[in-house]
């Protein structure tokens, strides 16, 4: 059964939500329906190819864990509740599609670790 679980903390900064992928059962070509992508009905695509990354200007792409394991626990930031709702709904749709109805997708008890900016790991 495929599963994607996020954890977040919105108390770090009042104007953003800090989150990361807590657990992901499948990567790369095994992640999606038949490849590395999962196209959600809400218009966002979950993609497993490199490292986790969320950029609100990235044309509806949320990059989840891929082939590069060194950045699996990288933190990402979401600037508004609007985008956070999009991310949560996309993850919920992914989990529901693969039969993970009872799986919790959000954990509000994120470990207090130093922030590793996503920008340091992108090309």
Total of domains in the chain: 1
* 78 vs 95: CA distance, rounded Å: 21
- The larger pLDDT score, comparing residue 13 to residue 84, is at 84
Q: What tokens appear for 83 in the block?
A: 């985008």
**Contact residues for 97 (Cβ-Cβ < 8 A; gap 6+):** 33, 38
Q: For residues 108, 99, 25 and 28, what is the CA-based torsion angle, rounded to 10 degrees?
A: -120
What's the pLDDT tens digit per position in 27-86? 999 999 999 999 999 899 999 999 999 988 777 899 999 999 999 999 999 888 888 889
* 6 vs 20: CA distance, rounded Å: 6
**Domain span at 22:** 4-121
Length of the chain: 123
Looking at the whole model, is its pTM more than 0.75? yes
24-59 core/surface letters (b: 16 or more CB in 10 A; e: else): bbbbeeebbeeebebebeeebbbbbbbbbbbeeeee
The H-or-E segment that residue 45 falls in is strand 45-48
């Amino acid at each position: 059964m495929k599963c994607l679980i996020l954890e977040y903390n919105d108390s770090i900064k009042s104007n953003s939500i800090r989150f990361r992928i807590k657990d992901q059962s499948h990567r790369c070509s095994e992640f999606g329906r038949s490849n590395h992508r999962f196209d959600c009905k809400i218009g966002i695509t979950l993609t497993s190819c490199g490292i986790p990354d969320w950029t609100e200007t990235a044309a509806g792409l949320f990059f989840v864990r891929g082939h590069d394991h060194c950045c699996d626990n990288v933190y990402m930031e979401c600037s508004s509740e609007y985008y956070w709702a999009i991310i949560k709904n996309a993850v919920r749709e992914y989990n529901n599609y693969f039969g993970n109805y009872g799986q919790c997708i959000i954990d509000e008890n994120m470990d207090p670790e130093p922030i590793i900016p996503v920008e340091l790991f992108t090309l």
